[in-house]
Structure 1
């Protein structure tokens, strides 16, 4: 078995840039997913309970979410342009008059409400898995770099 050839400086810089890119990307995306999960758990445990009166739907590539006005059950909290997570909206489906039993995350930077059956563990698990995948890819790139470095040192 032949040992690998030493990497040129340009390729070493490329591998180090790849390691940095993978780590920054995985840390950023995983922390945003975990923050969403923690925020939804906080809202489901302590947020004000109320209803959402949808007036629009916000659609992405694969799913849609209701956007509307949140009003707490006791009438003390009213928030406009609240995005509801956990209640599926269909692209061409009818818009309900109100959606009951939702909880508002009043500590979020963007107003977000969560349906009572929203599973907050999903984003936390996805974020944790994403950070683990990023570490594995970065570790693999480090092993490749070390393997080529040791080939350059050995006779």
Structure 2
């Protein structure tokens, strides 16, 4: 299937669509960054220990040998919130090779009203997703803006 973009009107639609899609991605990145900032400003800190690594398969049984299909390790962290009972949580971000080892001490950020809603105080856990979504969004907005500028100059 071949797609041709003809005329100023079509270029405007493509540019507008790219800018809107990129703005959506950037907005998601900003929301995720806001969540991370709320953990840093409103969250409590406690020492924790990585008690296990949960391996998760990616690719859903797709072809072997493809890159990116290796399993990733999510650390499971145990900590005791102030005035609470021992709590465990599984970190959302995983990696291969594992970013943490079993027995490793980590700093935990948690919400006082729901300690099970916690994160490791580290770059990947707090900033990786906001940077990915925000960065992709900005690139797409830039491409859309470039197309809009070119469309404006062409007849």
Q: TM-score, normalised by structure 2?
A: 0.55
1:144 corresponding residue in structure 2: 150
Distance 1:88 1:140 in 2: 35
Aligned partner (choices 79, 83, 86) of residue 78 of structure 1: 86
Provide the residue aligned with 1:34 in structure 2.
33
Q: 1:133 aligns with which of 132, 135, 139?
A: 139
CA gap of 1:68–1:142, structure 2 versus 1, over 3 A, is same
**How far 1:21 moved relative to its partner?**
1.9
**Judging changes above 3 Å, is the alpha-carbon distance between structure 1 residues 59 and 145 closer, same or farther for their aligned structure 2 residues?**
same
Q: TM-score, normalised by structure 1?
A: 0.55
Using a 3 Å threshold, how does the CA distance of structure 1 residues 65 and 34 change in structure 2: closer, same or farther?
Answer: farther
Aligned-pair distance for 1:72?
Answer: 1.6
Cα deviations by residue, 1:64-100 (Å, 9 ceiling, x for unpaired): 3434352227672433442176x96637xxx72x332
Return closer, same or farther for 1:119/1:88 CA change in 2, 3 Å cut-off. Answer: same
Unmatched tracts of structure 1, length 5 or more: 1-5
After superposition, the C-alpha distances for 1:12-32 in whole angstroms (9 at most, x for unaligned) are: 43332233222223332x325
Length, aligned pairs only: 136
Give the CA RMSD over aligned residues.
4.3
